[in-house]
Structure 1
């Protein structure tokens, strides 16, 4: 049975759920950065699984609330778009962690930590953007969007250094293949952060 508060409320629960999803995504990037800094022989993957579970739970709650609620603080399509973008961040991070744990013996001399640090920063800005949504103020959101774009540009520069490693001639064919694969996963994860930031910015642009 639906409660009257759920049906006729202002829908502020959506902001809380979107923030929950953004924080879970950020936590997954923090776990990845920590894993790559530590360079353990057998990385623990529990943190990534937990973050993905939290993200899935938040996404499911958002879908359910969209069914149950007559009123939403912003357009339903925008809530769905932002929720979907946030969902994809820890998905990419977990993909990297799972494959990295299997290929670690071939990647001992490759330092992915600086790139993971940029991903963590990007996800942190996404959290700030989601938290800023309820105010629907354009200037603060634009400043955050500019920060996110700057992080993405720096990440692109670091990724180019990975390509230098690929073509340096010091890697064997398997390492070259793996480096390219992991580069693409990290790049896509940062792109997912950028996509979430674009959705958040466009929501404020439309409603401010």
Structure 2
């Protein structure tokens, strides 16, 4: 029993990597929801719900292992912080998918698709950054990924302001404004969640460099 308490548990890397991969999977599934708008999206939504439940189990396992493990490969608070940041990505994506399923197909414009693509790119960087922790990647490599993630988030912010400017010009139907504003802001929030997870990884690597 005591030997297991004091043994360094690298399982945390595996759990965090699986968590990042599941967040990426949700982003991929969201693109599928967008493709099927105007038709029956129940199977696509169910796939996202299942992915989200799997992600919740991973988050719970991280918490449980932290309670049982004495020596961890990273500081306990860093593991908790990163696990929490990753948890918020699929949680937000699930909300977006539910909104898309309700959204009239005529509002599913190219701009929404572009935001979803930015989210997809953001999750790619998150997966790579979390994977770099186990590999003890150098600061320069982490910085490059972080810069790309910040650029994606910046593009998302600019896109959101352009979209809101179009909605607020007084020419859009009020119902369209309500629907798209909610959708745009959720998508921008999901991209921000990716940036937040990347920030945690960057800070962890900076601490140990």
Counterpart in 1 of 2:143? Answer: 142
Q: Which of 11-20 and 32-41 deviates more?
A: 32-41
1:33 aligned residue: 31
Q: How many angstroms apart in 2 are the aligned matches of 1:3 and 1:61? A: 20
Q: Matched residue of 1:70: which SS?
A: coil
Q: Could you say which residue in structure 2 is the equivalent of 1:13?
A: 11
Q: Look up the SS of the partner of 1:39 in the other structure.
A: coil
TM-score, normalised with respect to structure 1: 0.92
Change over 3 Å in CA distance of 1:9–1:136 after alignment to 2: farther
Distance 2:10 2:152 in 1: 30
Aligned residue for 2:193? 192
Alignment of 1:90 onto 2:120: no
1:129–1:144 Cα contact (<8 Å) kept: yes
**Map of 2:48 onto structure 1:** 48
Gap regions ≥5 residues in structure 2:
none
| C-alpha spacing 1:188/1:196, structure 2 compared with 1 (3 Å) | same
| Uncovered stretches (5+) of structure 1, i.e. residues with no partner | none
Q: TM-score, normalised by structure 2?
A: 0.91
Offset at residue 160 of structure 1 (A) = 2.8
Name the SS of the counterpart of 1:10 in structure 2.
coil
Please give the alpha-carbon distance, in whole angstroms, between the structure 1 residues aligned to 2:35 and 2:111.
8
1:167-199 CA-to-partner distances (Å, cap 9, x unmatched) read: 344421011011111111111111111100000
Aligned to 1:100: 100
Q: How many residues align?
A: 206
